[in-house]
């Protein structure tokens, strides 16, 4: 476990690593934004907790990799605003509409903070577990070569169907199928 402090936001971020990080081969990695409700409280409203668990499992199977755990709760709007967005979603808004109704963009997360983290480990190439094209683009903008995108679909259930449809339809997430937890 490695800790990093982001001066601009005063937030602490964590990187969980396994295996030899100095090898020149592309590193299996997951960039995961904090989700207290999904990661820690096992909410079925999202797929975050399932994605985190699946990434840790895949890294353990391979024996080398990293999870970059970024403190960007609620797509960057923070926990209390995320709770407000949940109330708007309960009234019928999707996740993008809820964020926008609160005066935020659909996704406020930033990924430039990954540059010093990756430099610390000497990582220049990733095999990235993600469905989010913004993460791939952001990594390329900071000089990281994403040599492979690994689809990372897990955790679909009846409670998060609209959420996942919104991620695909409004945020451009790349879903290849409709994988449920039992299909993992």
* Residues that are catalytic: 107, 109
Q: Is 32 annotated as a binding residue?
A: yes
For residue 12, say whether it is annotated as part of any ligand binding site. no
23 a known binding residue? no
For residues 157 and 101, give the distance between their C-alpha atoms in angstroms, rounded to a whole number.
26
Known binding residue 48? Answer is: yes
Burial environment of residue 113 by CB neighbours within 10 A (0 to 12, 13 to 18, 19 or more): buried
HSE, side-chain direction, 13 A CA sphere, residue 149: 16
Q: Is 127 annotated as a binding residue?
A: no
Q: Is 74 assigned to a binding site?
A: yes
Nearest to 28 by CA among 49, 72, 58, 1: 58
Residue 144 assigned ligand-binding role? no
d(CA 145, CA 64): 18
Say whether 46 counts as a known binding-site residue. yes
63 Cβ neighbours under 8 A, 6+ residues apart? 18, 19
Positions at the binding site for Zn(2+):
35, 46, 48
Residues annotated in the binding site for GTP, as ranges? 30-34, 51, 73-75, 95, 130, 135
From the annotation, which residues make up the binding site? 30-35, 46, 48, 51, 73-75, 95, 130, 135
């Amino acid at each position: 476990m490695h800790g990093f402090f982001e001066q601009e936001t005063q937030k602490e971020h964590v990187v969980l690593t396994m295996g030899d990080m100095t090898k020149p081969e592309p590193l299996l990695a997951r960039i995961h934004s904090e989700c207290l409700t999904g990661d820690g409280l096992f909410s079925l409203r999202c797929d975050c907790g399932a994605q985190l668990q699946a990434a840790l499992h895949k890294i353990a199977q391979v024996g080398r990799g990293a999870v970059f755990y970024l403190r960007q709760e609620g797509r960057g709007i923070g926990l209390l605003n995320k709770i407000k967005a949940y109330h708007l979603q309960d009234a019928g808004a999707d996740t993008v509409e809820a964020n926008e109704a609160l005066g935020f963009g659909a996704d406020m997360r930033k990924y430039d903070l990954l540059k010093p983290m990756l430099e610390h480990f000497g990582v220049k190439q990733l095999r990235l577990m993600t469905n989010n094209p913004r993460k791939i683009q952001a990594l390329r903008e900071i000089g990281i070569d994403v040599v492979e995108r690994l689809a990372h679909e897990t955790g679909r259930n009846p409670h998060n169907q609209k959420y996942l449809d919104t991620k695909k339809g409004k945020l451009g997430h790349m879903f290849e199928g409709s994988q449920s937890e039992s299909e993992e």
